[in-house]
Amino acid sequence: MHVLVVGGAGYIGSHMVKYLARQGCRVTTLDNLSGGYRDAVLHGELVEGNVGDRALLSQLLAGHRFDAVMHFASFIQVGESVAQPSKYYRNNVTNTLTLLDAMVAANVKRFIFSSTAAIFGEPQSERIDEAHPRQPINPYGRSKLMVEQALADYDHAYGLKAVCLRYFNAAGADPEGELGERHEPETHLIPLVLQAASGRRPHISVYGQDYDTPDGTCIRDYVHINDLCQAHWLALQSLMLGGASRAYNLGNGNGFSVQQVIDAARRVTGREIAVQYAPRRAGDPARLVADARRATQALGWQPEFAELDTLIRHAWQWELKQQRGWPGEQPTNGQTLPI
């Protein structure tokens, strides 16, 4: 099987490239390296270019016989999407439609789309399943929902079959220590907590201790990066066997609070982690937890790394590797986003 991984030099995409190679697939990565790293593409061919470049896409798709395309090349920062909606609609929607048009022209009819829980907006139930109302509250979430809606139309009109995988919080790192999170700037909770543990960051900021949760801090659903890759692989297999277009929510179904993450990081690292507490921020729900039973039942998805300490242990292994190459400058702040 030959798979084109768009955005395969980024955090999730690079882990997917490695996972596909381990399954015996031939892999080609397309990435403009604006948010990814050349050395993160451990297998296959890397084509440097933009997913919105129709001429490049046409050439690439004509020169290979791809069985499927996986798409990870979206901008993902909620706050930035509010400040710069044009950037998000242009890349996440317009460029994705360019990719889909090139696929239709080349008769490539299987597509795995990296979607998000942000399409649901404010939670209306304790656990969010696929039937939850889709009412995104920011341009990032709206851009992803627009693509999901377009994919339904492309299936009806052109027979392009797609599986949309809605992540809650991708987290952790390659268990073998070869890959991990390298966002610039980093906004995800677990790597920021571990940077505070390693000394690359002076502290971690926690926004709100007065939520309606057991310890007063926000609860989020963290799913290990390798378990996400397993879900993508199972979704691809379903399409290869002639399966219909579907959407699945991906999470561990439990949820961990910000305080639980910090406590687990202290256990795993054996280090003190400085915390600064601040008032809660507007728009942060108390709890965001997935109901992933559809993926379990329909795809046979069984997360392997569901324990929080295991997830943090893998991320810590990666953080120590990054620390060895760190020149020692102090970051400007310890801000983190829980989602």
The CATH code of the domain that includes 28 is 3.40.50.720
Domain that holds residue 127: 2-170+223-250
Most distant CA pair in the chain, distance: 57
The structure tokens listed for 196 are 């505070």
CA angle 227, 184, 37 (to 5 degrees): 65
Q: Which residues of 185-214 are buried (b: 16+ CB within 10 A; e: fewer)?
A: ebbbbbbbbbbbbbebbebbbbbbbebebe
At residue 336, the pLDDT reads: 32
Same domain, residue pair 147 and 267? no
Last residue of a domain, one of 232, 250, 268: 250
Mean pLDDT, rounded, of the chain: 93
Same domain, residue pair 158 and 271? no
Same domain, residue pair 181 and 302? yes
Please report whether residue 96 resides in a domain: yes
Rounded-to-integer distance, Cα 31 and Cα 73, Å = 8
The answer, yes or no, to whether residue 333 has pLDDT greater than 60, is no
Across 149-163, average pLDDT:
98
Q: Is 140 a catalytic residue?
A: yes
Please report whether residue 233 resides in a domain: yes
The structure tokens listed for 108 are 């490539």
Same domain, residue pair 34 and 55? yes
Same domain, residue pair 35 and 157? yes
Model's pTM, two decimal places?
A: 0.93
Rounded-to-integer distance, Cα 117 and Cα 98, Å = 24
Catalytic one of 19, 88, 140, 211: 140
Same domain, residue pair 214 and 227? no
269: domain CATH number is 3.90.25.10
Rounded-to-integer distance, Cα 92 and Cα 124, Å = 26
Q: 271-291: per-residue pLDDT in tens?
A: 999 999 999 877 778 889 999
Please report whether residue 70 resides in a domain: yes
Please report whether residue 156 resides in a domain: yes
The structure tokens listed for 127 are 């656990």
Q: How many domains, the chain?
A: 2
Contact 21, 85 (CB under 8 A): no
Q: 50-82: per-residue pLDDT in tens?
A: 999 999 999 999 999 999 999 999 999 888 999
Same domain, residue pair 211 and 318? yes
